[in-house]
Structure 1
Amino acid sequence: MTPTPPTPTPPRQPDHGLDEPWQAQLFAMTVALQDGGVIAADEWALALGARIAASEAPDGSDYWDCWAAALTDLLAAKGLVGQADLSATTAAWHDAAAHTPHGQPIVLPGR
């Protein structure tokens, strides 16, 4: 009797659940911008799809980074955020994160 070969395991689908508070906040901001008519669902789908297609992480581990980049792309394309503002806010966030005790919320100065 010939042994039966093992059944191949299908590739694991990436889990895009909300693992971090910033992911939930990013999701909520995107929904609010869609609900407010700032971005349309179809342009959002195209922007996110383009970022995912350009991703260098075939396992989908950078899904939320792609999400953030796609939202930034759309807001910049609409003139709602400039590169200087984006760079300054990013730097302020990294600085605040570096000086925030573990487990405490990150607060940007003056916000």
Structure 2
Amino acid sequence: MFAHTFRFDPFRLHERIRSAASPRKPRQRWLRIALGVLGLAILAVLVMFSVVVGAAMIAAGLLLRWWQQRGRPIAGKHRRHDGQVVDGEFRVVEKARLEDRTIPPAG
């Protein structure tokens, strides 16, 4: 008995590992169906939970954006546009930076 305990036969070792790691299906048909339905129910709960969490994240992002813009006037609102006004944000670029951006000659 002692000699068989420490025998390192590769085929038996792989067989033991494979049998220990493989899931075993129950023999009763009703138990197989019940476990399958239970697995599908758990999957559905996880999917619904992730959908709810995702919707909550989107709603929180929209509420945060709305809260940050709450006192600012909306561009173009309460103004008359006669077609001659261009609304936008501009910044002044120094002349030195404009000269540095020369186009290299082709060739």
| TM-score > 0.5, shorter chain as reference | no
Q: Which has the larger radius of gyration?
A: 2
Give the alignment's TM-score, normalised by structure 2.
0.27
Which one scores higher on RCO, CA 8 angstroms, separation ≥ 6?
1
Q: TM-score, normalised by structure 1?
A: 0.26
